[in-house]
């Protein structure tokens, strides 16, 4: 049979024909794509005559389309629906992708052609394209001698292998750490629909009649807020924070030490003091010291707020607190002090209504876009839903795929990725995916979201809008292909519409009665807005500062005892808190150790939130949810991708550089 990946898809917008693709097709298509791309690059190098923008930069942008098509589909499955065969293929192919990148960006003849492209008469986007290629050549080691380049290739290949292994172990570790309970009484306090989901998860895992509490990726598990039995909370908490560090085949700490050593060596090879310096050189932050200064400014105020929250919790609990008590008594404080019961809110946040009457409604009000579900188009799994997206004038914009439920074959967390990226040069329109990990209810039951899941749904759709609205010429600049410390900004902005009155009033209705969320509850939510910010900011900063601590080490400084280093690093940064673990501990910190691109860059969320908080202020000052505001934000920022300096796009939108004060006020740190 013909491999469907070897030729462009005939489906709308180039959606891959997943129903026709078998596991073995990926290997064949990726191998063909790797070889074909190198041949295309060699043709660029061998082009007779002097280098021009057309015969070098444009030729590079047109190259590799088979590889891109195969890799986008393959890595979508790696993250969202990985069979044993796909995982084995990932292990085999990941070093190949690393070697492929080196073959391109350590190619001196190719670099020399780019360096020789005349700068005259290039438009701004084209000039930026050449500059960005030259920058990547330099950051990839083109300046190294032959011995240095050969060593760098070895380091890159080994980092790729280790990152793949880390991700696979963490995925299995999260599954094996799920808490299996025999007695329904152990789940006292858990809402009925969550109880049903736990029973369904146990049945699916082969434990009929029992209950399985599956884990989410961060340290803090949602069930800790409601489980009444303290010993069950303790067991769930310890299962969560102990992942990846308990010995055995799923322990990742040796992988961490190897990766940190190799990253330190790579930074030294490329002329940087440490890996954090190398990472920040690729971001919008001016330098590593600017990042550290901001984090150090936030940490003391966050911990003070957390300590004040802890005092209130201890008073309510009536006994000394442990870390597994925090979420439970925090929920009680919200109920008693602010009359907010987050579990009682869930019937008002039913997934379909949140999507259609919340997420899509806000996007329509702001940007005029509309969504039509395409049941005739299939994703890579039966749970995947497909919507066609159109502009206000009826023109086609792209496809949006939603994959909302957790399953064993999916990694933890939530993310957006692209199957097809927009490009004027290639005449392609975007196909983007949102993945979440919501527990799937039994058939016929509603999917009711927690406040955190509600926030994540809006957040990830902000990434999707960034991809869908891309309007650039060159695929290199498309959508979310921006520096890591800018990419979270549009997604965080989209969270503002969750509580916007017109939006909230449209989607927050009881799934059974249709009654709207009472205004007095909305008022109480607003009054309770700052409660928990001490915990939230401290756990985030713990992870971000732990990330930086690992990546300022020299290769000779990598500790033997990972957990001891983790404790000392948190204490040195001023964010060690006995009741608040980092949002991710080293043993399951996928963002920085599993190839997600956040190594020495987890600070990006708070860095982006500075821009986000400024943008929320701008919308409030200019009338909020209006087409004029949405079109301006879309035109000056969301559509630009990386076709111009992202901070220039922000200045064009905001009229000035961002200031820190709105963020401090939002998080109660002013």
Element holding 362 (H helix, E strand):
helix 360-367
Q: Look at strands 370-373 and 385-390 and give their pairing.
A: antiparallel
CA-to-CA distance for 201 and 208, rounded, in angstroms? 9
CA-to-CA distance for 217 and 594, rounded, in angstroms? 13
End-to-end CA distance of the chain: 64
Q: Look at strands 431-438 and 396-405 and give their pairing.
A: parallel
**Beta-bridge partner residues of 509:** 516
Enter the tokens of residue 454: 């509600």
| C-alpha dihedral, 132 to 95 to 99 to 16, nearest 10° | -60
Q: Is 90 a catalytic residue?
A: no
**Beta-bridge partner residues of 405:** 438
CA-closest candidate to residue 399, choices 467, 457, 446: 467
Q: Are the C-beta atoms of 295 and 544 separated by less than 8 Å?
A: yes
Q: Are the C-beta atoms of 468 and 581 separated by less than 8 Å?
A: no
Main-chain dihedrals φ then ψ at residue 412, nearest 5 degrees? -75, 170
For the sheet with 396-405, list strands across it: 370-373, 385-390, 396-405, 431-438, 415-420
Enter the tokens of residue 60: 């590079």
Question: Which among 460, 566, 609, 614 is annotated as catalytic?
Answer: 460
Q: Are the C-beta atoms of 342 and 334 separated by less than 8 Å?
A: yes
Q: How many residues does the chain have?
A: 670
Q: Which residues are catalytic?
A: 460
């Amino acid at each position: 049979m013909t491999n469907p990946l070897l030729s462009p898809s005939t489906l709308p917008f180039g959606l891959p024909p997943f129903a026709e693709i078998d596991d073995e097709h990926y290997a064949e298509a990726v191998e063909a794509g790797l070889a074909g791309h190198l041949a295309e690059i060699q043709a660029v190098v061998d082009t007779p005559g002097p280098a021009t923008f057309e015969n070098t930069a444009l030729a590079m942008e047109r190259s590799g389309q088979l590889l891109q098509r195969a890799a986008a589909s393959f890595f979508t499955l790696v993250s969202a629906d990985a069979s044993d065969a796909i995982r084995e293929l990932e292990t085999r192919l990941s070093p190949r992708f690393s070697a492929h990148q080196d073959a391109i960006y350590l190619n001196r003849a190719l670099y020399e052609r780019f360096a020789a492209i005349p700068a005259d008469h290039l438009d701004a986007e084209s000039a930026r394209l050449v500059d960005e290629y030259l920058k990547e050549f330099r950051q990839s080691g083109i300046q190294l001698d032959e011995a240095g380049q050969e060593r760098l290739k070895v380091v890159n290949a080994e980092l790729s292998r280790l990152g793949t292994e880390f991700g696979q172990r963490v995925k299995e570790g999260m599954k094996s750490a799920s808490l299996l309970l025999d007695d329904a009484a152990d789940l006292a306090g858990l809402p009925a629909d969550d109880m049903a989901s736990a029973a369904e998860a146990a049945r699916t895992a082969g434990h009929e009649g029992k209950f399985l509490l599956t884990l989410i990726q961060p340290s803090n598990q949602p069930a800790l807020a409601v489980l009444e039995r303290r010993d069950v909370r303790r067991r769930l908490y310890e299962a969560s924070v102990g992942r990846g560090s308990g010995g055995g085949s799923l322990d990742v700490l040796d992988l961490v030490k190897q990766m940190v050593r190799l990253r330190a060596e790579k930074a030294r090879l490329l002329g940087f003091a440490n890996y954090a310096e190398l990472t920040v050189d690729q971001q919008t932050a001016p330098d590593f010291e600017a990042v550290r200064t901001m984090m150090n400014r936030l940490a003391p105020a966050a911990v003070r707020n957390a300590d004040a929250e802890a005092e209130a919790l201890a008073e309510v609990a009536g006994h000394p607190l442990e870390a597994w008590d925090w979420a439970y008594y925090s929920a009680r404080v919200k109920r008693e002090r602010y009359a907010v019961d987050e579990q009682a809110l869930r019937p008002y946040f039913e997934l379909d209504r949140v999507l259609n009457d919340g997420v899509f409604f806000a996007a329509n009000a702001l940007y005029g876009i509309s969504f039509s579900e395409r049941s005739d188009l299939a994703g890579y799994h039966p749970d995947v839903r497909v919507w066609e997206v159109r502009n206000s004038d009826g023109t086609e914009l792209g496809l949006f795929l939603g994959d909302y439920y957790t399953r064993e074959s999916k990694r933890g967390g939530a993310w957006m990725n692209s199957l097809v990226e927009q490009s004027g040069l290639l005449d392609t329109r975007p196909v983007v995916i949102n993945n979440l990990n919501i527990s799937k209810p039994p058939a016929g039951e509603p999917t009711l979201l927690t406040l955190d899941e509600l926030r994540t749904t809006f957040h990830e759709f902000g990434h999707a809008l960034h991809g869908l609205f891309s309007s650039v010429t060159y695929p290199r600049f498309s959508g979310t292909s921006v520096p890591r410390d800018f990419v979270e900004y549009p997604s965080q902005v989209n969270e503002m519409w969750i509580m916007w009155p017109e939006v909230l009033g449209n989607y927050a209705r009881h799934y059974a009665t249709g009654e709207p969320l009472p205004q007095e509850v909305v008022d109480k939510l607003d009054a309770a807005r700052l409660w928990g910010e001490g915990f939230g900011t401290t756990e985030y900063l713990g992870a971000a500062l732990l990330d930086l601590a690992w990546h300022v080490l020299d290769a000779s400084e990598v500790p033997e005892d990972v957990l001891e280093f983790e404790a000392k690093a948190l204490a040195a940064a001023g964010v060690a808190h006995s009741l608040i673990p980092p949002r991710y501990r080293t043993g399951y910190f996928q963002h920085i150790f599993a190839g997600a691109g956040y190594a020495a860059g987890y600070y990006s969320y708070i860095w982006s939130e500075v821009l986000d908080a400024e943008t929320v202020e701008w919308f409030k000052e200019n009338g909020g949810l209006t087409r004029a505001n949405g079109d301006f934000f879309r035109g000056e920022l969301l559509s630009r991708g990386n076709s111009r300096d992202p901070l220039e796009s922000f200045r064009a939108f905001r009229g000035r550089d961002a200031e820190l004060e709105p963020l401090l006020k939002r998080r109660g740190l002013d």
